[in-house]
Amino acid sequence: MTAVEIAADVRAGRRSAREVVEAHLETIAAREQEVHAFNLVLHADALGAADVIDRRVAAGDDPGPLAGVPIALKDNLATRGIPTTCGSRILDGWRPPYDATVVTRLREAGAVIVGKTNMDEFAMGSSTENSAFGPTRNPHDPSRVPGGSSGGSAAAVAAGFVPLALGSDTGGSIRQPAALCGVVGMKPTYGVVSRYGLVAFASSLDQIGPLAATVADAAALLEVIGGHDPLDSTSIAGPAPRVRGVLDDGVEGLRVGVVRELTGGLDPDVAARLNEAAAALAGAGAKVDDASVPSVGLGLSAYYLIATAEASSNLARYDGVRYGLRVDAEDVTAMYGATRAAGFGAEVKRRIMLGTYALSAGYYDAYYGQAQRVRTLLIRDFEAAYAQFDLLLSATSPTTAFPLGAKSDDPLAMYLSDVCTIPSNLAGHPAASVPFGTGDDGMPVGIQLYAPALGEPVLFRAAAALERSAPR
């Protein structure tokens, strides 16, 4: 059942929230050991929350738009009193004293939080192999990765553990695992969803967004979590984008551009699905043409300077002084070193070093400064493209899900997984990945739609159309 169906049934009293949650917990029990989507499953809390919803329904109170819908949260979203690990040993034992804004909004909307999902440590990775708690596996083929860094959330939806999940997307961490797991994943415009309570990786790029089995479910979730939050200074004024009502509007007359610069490095089967998706949209009435965003290829390099620079600062606070892991040593400086050496994994250390270097005296202008100029250039190129097109189209990932370990020893190959998704983070624009058929290996392929800032309505319109025309 979809989230929309569950909420309708629970709100109408046709099904109890407890029934729904129990059924999902059973599905989790049956396959979680194989998939390892979760770092923590909240059995008792979820059933307790379901009972509260059922009592509200019985009392005739409005139980909220997501009443009784089980949801999984990426483990970098702060949950009051519940461990929040970011897939890292360094947060060992930390229980946040507060809920992230999105968590508060979910609770108010009647959603039932069933667990915290596995992720690449501090969201740094594209395979969920960088978790301190072991990798998550792709439910379509457990020998393959689910993508990352929100791999646990994508796998949880793909395995039917939950109809909805939240991920975070700094360079593609929602869309790429959604593509590899065959689910819908969406990164909102920067500032549409509050980051308050999202443990920061790269503050100017991070956005929370929905993962779901259907576009309609993703739309319902975005409407709940979006909208201004006074606790986040970068939050955009105004309510959440209205996206549920546009899903049946079709793409008749929309101008869709296929980004030429992003078609190069694709696997042939992925390229074939991209062409078929473009043809499907054209068949549904869209005007499809080639588009050019000349600087899009510079995105990857700019991203790995900006994201690592911000991360080197954001992750400084994990120093053993106040919370999480502490490895004692003879003085404060030695304690810092011992704690961080033991607490962080290799990829996190690599990125902290890269970012520290990029910000160092004498290098700032050549690296961080230059990357910011590329970012400005990229935004200008997108603006030019959006003068001609309502939407842009590309593959989400150059490949389908790869086997565990295939890229673990080659960070640069792993970084290339995000080449198609990174540009929208740098520009702050919304983008969504929609499942569209499978590759030669039978694994899911995701097609990505880009829209200009605050273009969520047109993005969801086209995503729903693409979903309808996808091969079954």
Q: Provide the sign of the torsion angle of the four alpha carbons 12, 13, 14, 17, taken in this order.
A: positive
Question: Considering the rule CB under 8 A, would residue 168 count as an interface residue with other proteins?
Answer: no
Question: Considering the rule CB under 8 A, would residue 310 count as an interface residue with other proteins?
Answer: yes
The window from 51-59, 146-154, 225-233, 263-271 that contacts other proteins (CB under 8 A) reads 225-233
Beta carbons within 10 angstroms of residue 138's beta carbon: 31
The rounded distance, in Å, linking the Cα atoms of 68 and 49 is 8
Question: Considering the rule CB under 8 A, would residue 373 count as an interface residue with other proteins?
Answer: no
What is the nearest approach in angstroms of other proteins to the Cβ of residue 389?
29
What is the nearest approach in angstroms of other proteins to the Cβ of residue 301?
18
What is the nearest approach in angstroms of other proteins to the Cβ of residue 8?
33
Question: Considering the rule CB under 8 A, would residue 196 count as an interface residue with other proteins?
Answer: yes
Question: Considering the rule CB under 8 A, would residue 360 count as an interface residue with other proteins?
Answer: yes
Q: Which is nearer to other proteins, 144 or 195 (CB)?
A: 195
Question: Considering the rule CB under 8 A, would residue 304 count as an interface residue with other proteins?
Answer: no
**Applying CB under 8 A, which of residues 329, 338, 377, 406 lies at the interface with other proteins?**
329
The rounded distance, in Å, linking the Cα atoms of 163 and 67 is 13
Question: Considering the rule CB under 8 A, would residue 356 count as an interface residue with other proteins?
Answer: yes
- Taking CB under 8 A as the rule, which mask of x and - marks residues 233-272 in contact with other proteins? xx--------------------------------------
> Is residue 259 within 8 Å of residue 296, measured between CB atoms?
yes
Q: Which is nearer to other proteins, 79 or 448 (CB)?
A: 79
Question: Considering the rule CB under 8 A, would residue 327 count as an interface residue with other proteins?
Answer: no
> Is residue 411 within 8 Å of residue 441, measured between CB atoms?
no
- Taking CB under 8 A as the rule, which mask of x and - marks residues 76-105 in contact with other proteins? xxx-----x-x----x--x-xxx-x-----
Q: What part of residues 111-130 is at the interface with other proteins (CB under 8 A)? A: none
Question: Considering the rule CB under 8 A, would residue 203 count as an interface residue with other proteins?
Answer: yes
**Residue 107 backbone zone (phi > 0: left; psi -120 to 50: alpha; other: beta):** alpha
Question: Considering the rule CB under 8 A, would residue 422 count as an interface residue with other proteins?
Answer: no
The window from 47-55, 112-120, 255-263, 322-330 that contacts other proteins (CB under 8 A) reads 322-330
Token pair for 167: 């991920």
Question: Considering the rule CB under 8 A, would residue 409 count as an interface residue with other proteins?
Answer: no
The two most distant CA atoms of the chain are separated, in Å, by: 70
Question: Considering the rule CB under 8 A, would residue 75 count as an interface residue with other proteins?
Answer: no
What is the nearest approach in angstroms of other proteins to the Cβ of residue 291?
29
Tell me the catalytic residues. 74, 149, 173
**Applying CB under 8 A, which of residues 14, 55, 317, 373 lies at the interface with other proteins?**
317
Give the interface with other proteins as residue ranges (CB under 8 A): 76-78, 84, 86, 91, 94, 96-98, 100, 195-200, 202-204, 230-234, 309-310, 312-313, 316-317, 319, 321-323, 328-333, 335-336, 356, 359-361, 364, 368
